[in-house]
Amino acid sequence: AQSVTQLGSHVSVSEGALVLLRCNYSSSVPPYLFWYVQYPNQGLQLLLKYTSAATLVKGINGFEAEFKKSETSFHLTKPSAHMSDAAEYFCAVRVQGAQKLVFGQGTRLTINP
Amino acid sequence: EPEVTQTPSHQVTQMGQEVILRCVPISNHLYFYWYRQILGQKVEFLVSFYNNEISEKSEIFDDQFSVERPDGSNFTLKIRSTKLEDSAMYFCASSSGTGETQYFGPGTRLLVL
């Protein structure tokens, strides 16, 4: 069975600082990996996805994530945080042939002025 | 840009009552999903639906739950006899194919009293 662990339920960074949100997955078969963002009172919006092509994936709003098979990780980064990045971020995994997404518990990102 | 919509945004009901949550998926999508998020917990997969049939469901999706596509645009989740533990945010999602990106709606917050 697949699972996702997001380290840190709450991350706080200063505006302009590096954002690093951690995600580790467990899967017995090659996974597809996703990061979704949820702004207050809105649905889940896809930030980026890894589908076995390039291991470094670029997404919207300046975010990127790197798939590291040896570390079973898919951490999300952004070089310089902006106030508008404050939201909840979810890492998710899906395996080929399955339809369901398996989500991590989410990380709430706070940006300090 | 096409988006998934859900109604109502909030619903309060008494334990034992039936509720129907409605979703309008993106118009050319063929796969439909329901997920839920109990407050403070992970987003959990409930069910996927394709070609007027359930294609995958979780152990959460027991006999009190049902899904339907009553017409060409709506996708509904019915809970026959609500329990206190059904209180959660319910998300609808849709995708154009089984391996394609799932696009989420803004959710319906259900409160069972």
A103 interface with B at CB cutoff 8 Å: yes
For residues A27-39, average pLDDT: 89
**Percentage of chain A modeled with pLDDT above 90:** 75
Q: Is A105 on the interface with B (CB under 8 A)?
A: yes
Q: If phi over 0 gives left and psi between -120 and 50 gives alpha, with beta otherwise, what is residue A41?
A: left
Contact assignment for A105 to B42 by CB distance below 8 Å: yes
Percent of chain A with pLDDT over 70: 100
Q: How far apart are CA A68 and CA A31, in angstroms?
A: 12
Tell me which residue has tokens 């979703």: B23
User: Mean pLDDT, chain B, as a whole number?
Assistant: 94
For the segment B4-29, the average pLDDT, to the nearest whole number, is 96
Can you spell out the DSSP letters for A15-49?
TTS-EEEEEEEE-SSPEEEEEEEE-TTS-EEEEEE
Residue B88 has pLDDT above 90, yes or no: yes
Q: Which of B77, B78, B75 is nearest to B30 (CA)?
A: B75
Residue of A nearest to B46 (CA): A100
Q: Indicate which of B45, B46, B60 best probes the interface with A, i.e. most A CBs within 10 Å of its own CB.
A: B45
pLDDT tens by residue, B30-75:
999 999 999 888 899 999 999 999 999 999 999 999 999 988 789 9
Compute how many other C-beta atoms are within 10 angstroms of the C-beta atom of residue A5. 14
Interface residues of chain B, partner chain A, Cβ below 8 Å: 4, 6, 31, 33, 35, 41-45, 48, 55-56, 58, 91, 93, 98-99, 101-107
Q: What is d(CA B11, CA B70) in angstroms, rounded to the nearest whole number? A: 21
Contact yes or no for A24/A113 (Cβ under 8 A):
no
Q: Which residues of A touch B99 (CB under 8 A)?
A: 32, 51, 96
Q: Which two tokens stand for residue B97?
A: 């194919």
Using the Cβ of A106 and the Cβ atoms of chain B, whether some distance falls under 8 Å is answered with yes
A27, burial (CB in 10 Å: exposed 0-12, middle 13-18, buried 19+):
middle
pLDDT above 70 coverage of chain B, percent: 100
The model's confidence at residue B100, banded by pLDDT at 50, 70 and 90, is: confident
**Interchain contact A46–B (C-beta under 8 A):** yes
